[in-house]
Amino acid sequence: MTPKLLLRLDLTAALLLVASVVFSATQPPLALCGGLDRRYPPILAFEFARSVADLHALFGPAPGACRSAVVVKLDLINWLDTALFIPIYGAFLAFGVLSLRARHPALARWAVVLTLSACCADYLENACLLQLSAAPDVASGWLALLAWATGVKWVLLGVVGVLASRLVSERRELTALCVAGLAIVVLALAVPAKFGRFATLGVSVSWLMLLVAVVRVWWLGRRGAAPLPVSSD
C-alpha cells in the first residue's frame, strides 16, 4: 500500500473508533442485578469475571426479569464488539503502525502481528462471554478460558502500545508513558476486583499517542511539508 492510502485508511478507522467510543459513552447506564461497584464498567467487570460470584455481581444470584434484561444488553454489546469494534480498533492499530514504520520497519511488522493476535484473543474472549451470559450460575471451563483470552488480549494491546511509541518518537519519556500503561494492564489482570476498571486507561494512552502522530503526518503532508518518511520494504 502507498503511504497516502495507509494514512487514509488509518484516519478512517480512527474516525470510526472515536464515533464508537462517543456512542458508548452516551448510552444510559446498565441497570445491574447484583452488587457490582457502580464505578466498574459492566462490560469490563464481565471480561474480568473469574468466579460465579463475579458473574452474580452482574447478573444477580437468581434468574428473573432483571437478569434477562442484563443478558440481552451485554450480549448485544459483545455482538457489536465482535462485528464492529474489534475490526475497527484492529485496523486503526495496524494501519497506524504501518504508516509510521520508517524508523523501525521490523518493529512495525511485529506490532501488526501482535495486533492481529490481540484481535483473535478478543474474538475468543467474546465467545466465552456469550457462553457465560447463558449460564452465569455454573463454574464452567469457559471461566478459565476467559481468563486466558482476556489476559492475552490486554497484554498484547499494551505491548503494541510500547512498540508504537518507538515508531512515533525516539523520546524515552513517551515510551515510559506507554510502559506505564502496560503496567496498569498487568495490574488490572493481577487484581481485577480492584484495578480491572482501569484497564482501558492502560491502552488509551498509546492509542491517543498513535492517533496524534498519524494526524500530524497527514497534516504535514497536506501542507506540503516533509512528513515522516515511510519505508517501502
pLDDT for 44-94, tens place per residue? 999 999 999 999 999 999 999 999 999 999 999 999 999 999 999 999 999
Strand ranges inside 64-113, DSSP E = none
What's the whole-number mean pLDDT along residues 219-231?
62
- 97 backbone φψ class: left, alpha, beta (φ>0; ψ -120 to 50): alpha
Cα distances (angstroms) measured from residue 177 to each of 30, 34, 127, 164, 180: 32, 36, 32, 12, 5
Q: Indicate the SS3 state at residue 130.
A: helix
Q: What is the mean pLDDT of the chain?
A: 92
Cell, residue 231 = 519505508
If one compares 30 and 117, the residue with the highest pLDDT of the two is 117
State the Cα–Cα distance between residues 6 and 218, nearest whole angstrom: 10
Counting beta carbons within 10 angstroms of the beta carbon of residue 233, is it exposed (0 to 12), middle (13 to 18) or buried (19 or more)? exposed
What pLDDT is attached to residue 170?
86
pLDDT at 225: 60
pLDDT of 230 strictly over 90: no
Q: For residue 228, is pLDDT > 70?
A: no
Q: What gap in Å lies between CA 93 and CA 165, rounded to an integer? A: 12
Classified as helix, coil or strand, 169 is coil
221: confidence class by pLDDT, cuts 50, 70, 90: confident
